[in-house]
């Protein structure tokens, strides 16, 4: 009986030391870590309520935007490894494919000339 009790204690100690394991065949979606101070776009898209009205720093590549005549705001898409988001700028649009870092305020929703953006970032500074 004593031997059985010692084995039971040893078994419970050893089994409690194992790390959690994921099921065989499951794959977690790997996301590259964001540089310090940079918010991943995917995080904003997943939880817009947490970011609306807040200032964020984003880094990504520029995708083609939309050109609106007679409007001082122009939208362009910014894409990183986690997603894409519309950025509204009052300055010259950056060239397609160029890497940019911006600071801006998350807004939801936003409208320009009848075009509604569910979530966007108003560019305040571009580096």
* pLDDT at 8 (0 to 100): 53
Buried b (16+ CB within 10 A) or exposed e, 46-75: eebeebeeeebbbbbebeebeeeeeeeebb
Phi, psi dihedrals of residue 41, rounded to the nearest 5°: -60, -40
User: How confident is residue 127, by pLDDT bands cut at 50, 70 and 90?
Assistant: confident
pLDDT per position as a tens digit, 82-124? 999 999 999 888 999 999 999 999 999 998 878 888 999 999 9
82 and 39 Cβ atoms separated by less than 8 Å: no
Closest alpha carbon to 62 in 47, 46, 79: 79
Q: In this structure, is the dihedral angle defined by the CA atoms of residues 91, 97, 100 and 102, taken in order, positive or negative?
A: positive
pLDDT per position as a tens digit, 10-42? 555 555 454 444 343 333 444 455 556 999 999
The better pLDDT of the pair 7, 74 is held by 74
pTM: 0.69
User: How confident is residue 70, by pLDDT bands cut at 50, 70 and 90?
Assistant: low
Q: For each of the domains in the chain, give its residue range(s) and CATH number, in order of start.
A: 33-126 (2.40.50.140)
Closest alpha carbon to 41 in 109, 125, 121: 121
């Amino acid at each position: 009986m004593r031997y059985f009790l010692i084995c039971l204690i040893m078994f419970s100690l050893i089994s409690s030391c194992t790390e959690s394991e994921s099921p065989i065949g499951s794959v977690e979606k790997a996301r590259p870590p964001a540089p310090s101070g940079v918010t991943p776009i995917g995080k904003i898209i997943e939880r817009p309520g947490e970011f609306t009205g807040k200032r964020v720093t984003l880094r990504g590549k520029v995708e083609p935007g939309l050109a609106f005549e007679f409007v001082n705001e122009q939208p362009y898409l910014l894409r990183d490894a986690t997603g894409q988001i519309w950025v509204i700028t009052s300055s010259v649009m950056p060239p397609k494919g160029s890497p940019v870092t911006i600071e801006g305020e998350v807004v939801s929703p936003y409208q320009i000339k009848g075009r509604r953006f569910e979530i966007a970032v108003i560019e305040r500074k571009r580096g």
